[in-house]
Structure 1
Amino acid sequence: MNDEQPGPSGASGPEETRPLGPAPAAGASWVPPTAQPRPMQWDAPRPAGGPAPYAQPYPQPYPQPYGQPYPAPTAAPRGRVPAWVWPVVSVLALVVGVVGGVVGSVVHDQLQEESGSALLGSGLAEDAVRTYPPLDVADGSVAAVAQELLPSTVQIRAELDGEAGGATGSGFVLDTRGHVVTNNHVVADAAEEDGEIEIVDQDGNRYAAQVVGRSPVYDLAVLYAEEVEGRKPAALGSSTRLLVGEGVVAIGSPLGLSSTVTAGIVSALKRPVTTGDSANDSSYINAVQTDAAINPGNSGGPLVNLRGQVVGVNSAIATTGGGMLGGESGNIGVGFAIPIEQVRVTADQILRTGEASYPVIGAQVQTGRRDGTGARIEEVLDDTPAAEAGLEAGDVVVAVDGERVTDGIALIVSIRTHQPGETIAFTVVRDGDEREVEVTLGSETG
């Protein structure tokens, strides 16, 4: 059990969310008293009795007095190589090259087979993604954003084998190598039950897609389709540069209506929310909040700034009822997107290894208590980062690296914005006294 497995819940909040060479000393110089420096020129006069200047061995000490003979060049004696040696060397080099290529290919294929996917590579290649904003500030209209992003946005259809219906969602082209980003909850059932996953482009063309890897913890998945290779990817921006009130555009396939565009503003930043019906299904998001209309089917689609850059992946909406995004309830003007920074990190890990890692401290926290007083630790497991840092059951974490923590969900979200191996500072209240505790984050995959 770890910090991603919350402890007993208390009273629920009013809202629920659903997944969508050193220099010489100064003045030092030396010139032989009877010698003048020799001019550095190719046509220097030939010294009497000496060879031409260009015949001198290199390097030649400098300065060299005129009239002094140059040292005779020396060279090691060279033996003749028998003529039959060169064909033999050439044949051996060819054989070694062929054998090395075969062995390398076999090892590469074996590693790919052991990894469970032939789609893995070196991660998210910088030369295959776009980051420069495609639109100028003056051109930042909703219409311009739609024209720029619609060709790079797709619909995702995940069908279970032998069953009617299935899940639908959205996604966008991540790079020029045929990779598409979407939410994990869009493709999870199909991936686990050997169902079929299709990508549908703006023109209605359908392409079979494979799952490269999934992260239930961050609610992200990376797909691959050969037909998507070479297509223009969406430009990736930054959520950290967003301002509350800034205009954004959500693009996707709400309710199965492909290539739908809605517009709104950034309502809030760094909003800690959780999605899912249970601890095992939950994803914790340090979300970008928007009032752009997001409905079931928008999950996995891009949230875009007015310069045409993706700043988040639409993942969840607040409801007055409950249940997962994709149910009957629709938009009430409060939607949440996964920040693009987390998308890039998770996609890179998936494209390297087929899975994603996330940080843990090895403690169980209470997530039902939402009174704003902090995150109460219910249990600390042995031999974990929390235990090594000296955390105890009953401690209340009120800040992480100086940023306030209001409840258990906020603590988990704050932890997951970091990477395994990082050391972060917890401000903890114990028996009425406040203290600071440094915790080096552990790692799990999921």
Structure 2
Amino acid sequence: MGFTTALRSAAASALYLFVFVAAAATGPQQEMIDALQRANQAVVGVQVGAAEGARSAETLGRQREGSGVVIGPDGLILTIGYLMLEADAIQVVTHDGRTLPARAVAYDLATGFGLLRPLLPLRGIAPVPLGSTSELATGTPLMASTGGDSGEVALTQLVSKRAFSGYWEYHIESALFTSPPLRNHSGAPLFNQRGELLGIGSLFVNNAMGDNSALPGNMYVPVDLLKPVLAEMQQTGSTRISRRPWLGLSSTEQGGRVQIVRVNKDSPAQEAGLAAGDVVLAIEGQRVSTLEAFYKKLWSAPDPDGEVHLTVLQGADIRQITVKAVDRMKTMRRPAGI
């Protein structure tokens, strides 16, 4: 058996296992099998080369690979945005092995979603419908898929729905957490038993069920966050809500404190003298003890390029530090098309 044939056989086995588990409560349905097959065929591999000198290459590298899924009749592809940051070249790989050039359409900093469009027609691929996670219950079996040469189909289940704060100045009010984890999670679509898209893979996490769960899994950005901004993303290349102050920090919350663990090179935070190990006690005089509270106060400022006043513990000293924030999208090269 050849490598490609073996991959397809393994994917088919996982797909039918998912159908078997999902159908246990609803009864076997050929429609379910057909819907899941169509969904899996809409999954593509995403290959990105970032521009030379790209700021994002420091953390993401210049060569990136992940997945996406076709959501529009014109070939519009939804993926996770960090794959396409400062992209110089983008290719998509279809389920039948075709490699097509693509261009960036939009990146939404607030949700993390990215949109791509192939430069050549996608033949024989139907766009997947967008589902809803509002009534999705924990324990529900779900299908995760990846595209490209190492594409796979995996059975997983929802273990948690909750707000998520990322160390890279990121917060969403609702995120999906699944287990067991998918290895190639970046941009991987998550489907329900009707073949409807529920989310896009963003991270591997060690605490899928909560702070002290010690259960490995993945975090998915739910498509519910895409629906209100999809038209704006296609029209403008971003969203209004993505224009917000950015400091250039990676932080964590430890015992009721927000601690800086990394400062981006040439960022507003570095220019203001912030450093790894500093503890942010307050922003604009308001005490903060969680990343969520820190970010929400930061983003409430009306001017994304305005001054931000922090109270910071540096060593044994408490200092007042002013940071000249910037609109993050202004600091990065924009991919051709956006």
TM > 0.5 between the two? yes
Contact 2:36 2:194 in 1 (8 A): no
Question: Shift of the alpha carbon at 1:257?
Answer: 4.6
* Match status 1:228 vs 2:115: no
1:316 to partner: Cα distance = 0.7
**What is the percent sequence identity of the aligned residues?**
19
Q: How far has the Cα of 1:147 moved from its partner?
A: 1.4
Q: Which residue of 2 aligns with 1:205?
A: 98
- Evaluate the alpha carbon distance shift between residue 148 and residue 369 of structure 1 in structure 2; reply closer, same or farther with a 3 A threshold: same
**C-alpha distance in 2, partners of 1:336/1:347?**
21
> Which residue pairs with 1:336 in the alignment?
219
Deviations 1:241-282 (A, max 9, x none): 2111111111114xx653311111111002413154xxxxx4
Q: Is the 8 A contact 2:176 2:220 kept in 1?
A: yes
Choose the corresponding residue for 2:166, options 251, 267, 274: 274
1:371–1:407: 8 Å Cα contact kept in structure 2? no
Structure 1 residue 160: Cα displacement? 4.6
* Equivalent of 1:314 in 181, 187, 201: 201
Structure 1 residues 410 and 199: CA distance shift in structure 2, 3 A: farther
In structure 2, C-alpha distance between the alignment counterparts of 1:157 and 1:298, rounded to whole Å: 14
RMSD of Structure 2 on Structure 1 (CA): 4.1
TM-score normalised by L of structure 1:
0.46
From the superposition, tell whether residues 180 and 264 of structure 1 become closer, same or farther in structure 2 (CA, over 3 Å). Answer: same
Aligned equivalent of 1:303, options 164, 183, 190: 190
SS of equivalent to 2:182: coil
Q: Which residue of 2 aligns with 1:181?
A: 78
For residues 115 and 170 of structure 2, the distance between their equivalents in structure 1, rounded to whole angstroms, comes to 16
Correspondence for 1:155 among 45, 52, 61: 45
Q: Which has the higher contact order (CA 8 A, sep 6+)?
A: 1
Give the aligned residue type for 1:252.
T
Which protein has the bigger strand share? 2
Distance change (3 Å), C-alpha of 1:361 and 1:334? same
Give the AA of the match of 1:343: L
Aligned residues: 242
Quick one: distance in 2 between partners of 1:186 and 1:199? Answer: 12
- With normalisation by structure 2, the TM-score equals 0.59
Contact 2:51–2:62 (8 Å) recurs in 1: no
Is it true that 1:245 corresponds to 2:176 in the alignment? no
The match for 1:293 among 174, 181, 184 is: 181
* 1:265 maps onto 2:157 in alignment: yes
Structure 2: gaps (5+ residues): 1-22, 54-60, 208-214, 259-279, 303-326, 330-338
Look up the equivalent residue of 2:89 and give its one-letter code.
E
> CA offset at residue 231 of structure 1?
3.6
One-letter amino acid matched to 2:291:
G
> CA 1:204/1:363 → structure 2, altered by over 3 Å: closer, same or farther?
closer
**Structure-2 change in CA distance of 1:140 and 1:247 (3 Å):** farther
Contact between 1:155 and 1:170, CA under 8 Å: does it hold in 2? Answer: yes
Q: Say if 2:51 is the partner of 1:168.
A: no
Alignment check: 8 A CA contact 1:167 1:186 kept: yes
Q: 1:154–1:200: 8 Å Cα contact kept in structure 2?
A: yes
1:341 deviates by 1.2
1:200 and 1:206 in contact (8 A); partners too = yes
From the superposition, tell whether residues 144 and 231 of structure 1 become closer, same or farther in structure 2 (CA, over 3 Å): closer
Distance in 2, matches of 1:316 and 1:412, equals 19
> Which ranges of structure 1 fall in alignment gaps of 5 or more residues?
1-134, 277-281, 321-331, 381-392, 397-405, 421-443
